[in-house]
Structures are given as C-alpha cells and as structure tokens.
A = this chain, B = another copy of it.
Amino acid sequence: MALLVQKFGGTSVADPDRIREVADHVARCRRRGDSIVLVVSAMGKETDELLRLADAVARTKPGREMDMLITGGERKACALMAMALHDRGVPAASFTGSQAGFRTDTAHMNAKILEITPGRIRDALDEGIVPVVGGSQGVSTANDVTFFGRGGSDTTAVALAHVLGADACELYTDVSGVFTTDPRLVPEARRMDLISFDELLEMTATGCPKPAMRSVELARNYGVKLHVRSAFTWEPGTWVTEEGPMEQAIVSAVTHDTSEAKMTVAGVPDRPGVAARLFRALADADVNVDMIVQNVSTHGVTDISFTVPHEQLEVAVATSESLADEIGAEAITPDHDIARVSLIGAGMQTNPGVAATMFETLSAQGINIEMISTSAIRISCVVREDDAERAVAALHEAFELHKAPEERSKV
C-alpha cells in the first residue's frame, strides 16, 4: 500500500464530467489499496476569467486582493472534487492551503512556502479520508491568503509529498508524459519512461510546457519521485527521479522555444564593466534576460547578444539605447524572429561528439546557427524561427530518439 500525492491540473478538472472522471480514478486507486492525497488546480480557464474580472473592475490591483480572488478558483474545484468523491462512497474533505498548513511569506502573487504543518491532512489520512487540497495557496505570516503564482499547484503537490513522506507525487496533466520532442512536430517522438530531474529542468527551461520548473527544483532538492502522466488516458507516464535511467542515453530529448526574442548590442569596447553596466540596467528595468553570449573580441570591440521574452524586447531596446553612449555601443539590433533549439541529455557530459553532431545536422539542413550556449547537460542553438521545426525533426532523427535508449547507436 502506497501513499500517493496526485495533482490534477486545470484541464483535468475543467468541467463536471472531468471532475467525476478524476473521482472514479481516485476510487480505483483506493480499491487497489493506496492512500491518496489530492491537489487540484482551478477548473479550466477559471484563473484567466478571474484575472479578466479584476481587469474589468480596477486598474490598480493590490496583490493581497488578487490572491484572495484567484485562490478561490482552486478552492471551488476542491470542494466539488470532495463532493464527487463522497458521491462514490470515498470519504473526502477539501482543504484550503491555509487549512492544509501552508505558511508562506507575504510576497503576494508569488508567495514562497516557509513551513508546512500538515496536521489536518495527516489526521484525515489516519481516518481514511482523502484530503483534497487547493493548489498554489497558503496563508502568510500576516494571516492573509497567498497565491504561489501560475503553475503553483505542482509546487503544492511536491511539497506535500515531501512533508508527508509520500511514495510518489503524480502530476496528472493533458499530455501522457515527457517526450523526446514535441509530438506535434515530430510524430516519431517517443514518451520517455524515465528522466532525471536535471534533464527535466533543462527541458522546462527551454520550452517544454510542463511541469512547472519550481516544482521540479523542489522535487530534486527533496528527492520526491515525480510521475508525469495523463488524466485522460490514465496510462503510466514518465517517472522523474534523481538518477535517470541506469543505461543512460546520450541525448534524451530535443526541445524548441519560440517565446523569446534576441537582441544584439554590437561594437562595444571589450573592457571590464561594460557587461555589468548593461545587465544591471536591464535587471533594474525588470527584463528577464535568459541566454547571454559574448563574442570573441576583435580589434578591442565585441558584440553581446542575449535573449528576452518577446513582450520585454521593447523595454530591453530602450534600456540599452539609453546606455549606448555610456558603454560605447555602435548598434543595437532587436530580432523577434528567432527560436531556440536545444538538445538535453545527462550522457552528453562524457560524449564530446554530441555538439559536433548537432552542428553537422543543422548544417546539412542549411540551417544557420546564430548563437550557441551550453550547460553540462544541454546544448542550445538560436536559429531563424522559420527553421526551428525542421531543426527539431532533423535532430530527433539524427540522435535516433524514436528508438528505445538501449537500441540507439552511439554518436
């Protein structure tokens, strides 16, 4: 008999039919002998609707009030889920984040968990009751309702799995697991049975949609085993653990991300302090700079390129232009039409041929590489946005990701 924390996202509980289907699943798990703690998100697009309502009543929206408003979505889903379970003869009780013992700081809209005292959840489990916990919420040290931000239900689930000593944290979603690449682009994309936290973190940071990065970091830090799986097909999905597969694949996945734009500040003097001045100013303007690449200096001048979210490009340009004279930049060139294509794989640490194969594959496709950035388990190339899908398909084939890891030839 296992203790499982099961988290269901918005699409998994989008309407009464879906809520009843999830309740059926929980009832089956209970008959199998497992103890279940549920964490649910707000139904479907409810959070968006609440945000629209807030926009309609006010231009200024204090964080305290936004959190009071938005956390109502999860709370509603919780209560309905508890009723649906009760209806199937499964004793269940809903709990707000506060009732579940989530104590947070006072950073509204983006609260951080300080402490969890899940006494009421433990009591419920002891009494054979399924606790249904509202995701992404807690109560602050000032006794106000707080929201962890979008995607925070994953964090709630992982944190609860940790403090309750659960055997696993199951993140149910609308995809059936983590794939070697986006199956909409590459039909041969393969669902991975197992992936390491580090690999998944590199994937979430480069355009793989789920689960939320913060929750994966939390799971890695506390060694909580994750199981990313479908609330629609109910088939087993992808396990995420400390180690990844014993037989390590060299490359696990290919991802692409079109959510960022590129900016180049060209012709700046290659001397200390220039980059610092630029990126401090961007940070002060709340620009989220992601990849940064500085070219080799020629004739004492260099180019600095970086990526930012599309919607922040304008601010980034203005900030950079206001500094142009001071830092001696010759040209500032914004570019919306780029994509980042990344290879992820813990095995590439010990396989230096991976980068070469990647560049050769892109070259054979006539795809120009505009920026390169690497980490221990990731290589990212910025390419033209129009080339991104072709790049993904070519790399997926080159690294034989459609085959099971043990059947792939080495690079």
Contact = CB atoms under 8 A, between A and B. Distances in A.
Interface of A: 16, 19-20, 23, 50, 53-54, 56-62, 64-66, 68-69, 72, 75-76, 78-84, 86-87, 92-94, 96, 99, 120, 143, 145
Nearest to A69: B79
Contacts of A20: 57
A77 to B, nearest CB: 9
Nearest to A83: B58
Contacts of A16: 53, 56-57
Contacts of A53: 16, 76, 80
Contacts of A61: 83, 86
Contacts of A94: 64-65, 68
Contacts of A83: 54, 57-58, 60-62, 65-66, 69
Nearest to A88: B58
Main secondary structure of the interface of A (DSSP, over half): helix
Contact of A86 (B56, B58, B75, B80): B58
A99 B142 CA distance: 11
Given A57-B20, A57-B87, A58-B87, A76 B69 contact: yes
Contacts of A19: 57
A50 B76 contact: yes
A76 B53 CA distance: 10
A375 to B, nearest CB: 41
A87 to B, nearest CB: 4
Contacts of A143: 99, 120
Contacts of A75: 68, 72
Contacts of A86: 58, 60-62, 65
A135 to B, nearest CB: 15
A61 B87 CA distance: 7
B72 A87 contact: no
Contact of A68 (B59, B64, B78, B120): B78
B84 A57 contact: yes
Contacts of A62: 82-83, 86
A72 B82 contact: no
A383 to B, nearest CB: 43
A75 B134 CA distance: 15
A56 B14 CA distance: 13
A146 to B, nearest CB: 13
A80 B54 contact: yes
Nearest to A87: B58
30 contacts: A16-B56, A16-B57, A23-B57, A53-B80, A54-B80, A57-B83, A57-B84, A58-B80, A58-B83, A58-B87, A60-B83, A64-B93, A64-B94, A65-B79, A65-B80, A65-B82, A65-B92, A65-B94, A66-B79, A68-B78, A68-B79, A68-B82, A69-B76, A69-B79, A69-B80, A69-B83, A72-B72, A72-B75, A72-B79, A99-B143
A330 B60 CA distance: 71
A68 B53 CA distance: 21
Nearest to A68: B79
Listed from nearest, the 10 A-B pairs whose CB atoms lie closest are: A16-B56, A69-B79, A58-B87, A58-B83, A68-B79, A57-B84, A65-B82, A72-B72, A16-B57, A65-B79
Contacts of A79: 65-66, 68-69, 72
A19 B69 CA distance: 14
